[in-house]
Amino acid sequence: MSSNARALSDLLRRGAVRWSHSVPAGDLDRPTWQFAELRGRVVELGGRGATAITTVATELVCAAQCEGEPVVWIRQRGVTFYPPDVADCGVDLEALVVVALEGPDAMLRAADTVLRSGAFGLVVLDFVGPVAMPLGVQARLVGLAKQHEAVLLCLAHDGDRALGSFASLRAECSRRRVGDGVFEREVRIVKDKRRGRSWQDVRVCDGTVGLR
């Protein structure tokens, strides 16, 4: 087995990548929820009820790590973050920087610092409750994400929006059980400044231990 084949086999075993059906002719430009689609953008991911916010965010972490991009997850104290579940999705925990801070102001300052450094390809902001993000802060973060071709992903739990008009892409996600320990998660794009239209991405995934 070649080194490339062994590398692919390892990624498949870890769940970092999965086999997919071929893309029909005419759908080659169909957008999907992937790291390359979101580069250089500020993205807000939310949802209400039975959501899959952490699962969908973790997919991006895996994708960024597969491309060799460092990732930092900045979370507000009080947000549940269970490392075994994240690792089970294929994330390399040793390569993931997790920072826990007291409130939104400290988190925004941290996001500004890491984006300005240009060292991270993906920065996740995991808030608790609604956040009033000043327009000046939003504008600065948007500029830094574009400058360094990074993704700033803001997680808005329970539908609490953190970003205003500066969000380049806004998505809502949900999940539903389709089998024993198997779920279908949907990401519905409700705003996309780059594409100018809505779209969705639906995938089947295994549930975490607590959902099986």
Is 69 a domain residue?
A: yes
pTM of the model: 0.80
Convert the pLDDT of each residue in 138-172 to its tens digit: 999 999 999 999 999 999 876 666 677 788 999 99
Is 28 a domain residue?
A: no
What whole-number distance in Å separates Cα of residue 84 and Cα of residue 18? Answer: 20
Total tally of structural domains belonging to the chain: 1
Tally Cβ neighbours within 10 Å of residue 75: 19
- Structural domain boundaries, residue 140: 41-211
Closest to 102 (Cα-Cα) out of 120, 139, 76, 124? 76
Residue 191: which CATH number?
Answer: 3.40.50.300
Burial bucket for residue 47 (CB in 10 Å: 0-12, 13-18, 19+)? buried
Is 36 a domain residue?
A: no
Is 1 a domain residue?
A: no
If residue 72 lies in a helix (H) or strand (E), which one and from where to where?
A: strand 71-76
Closest to 61 (Cα-Cα) out of 116, 108, 15, 5? 15
- Region 124-149: mean pLDDT is 90
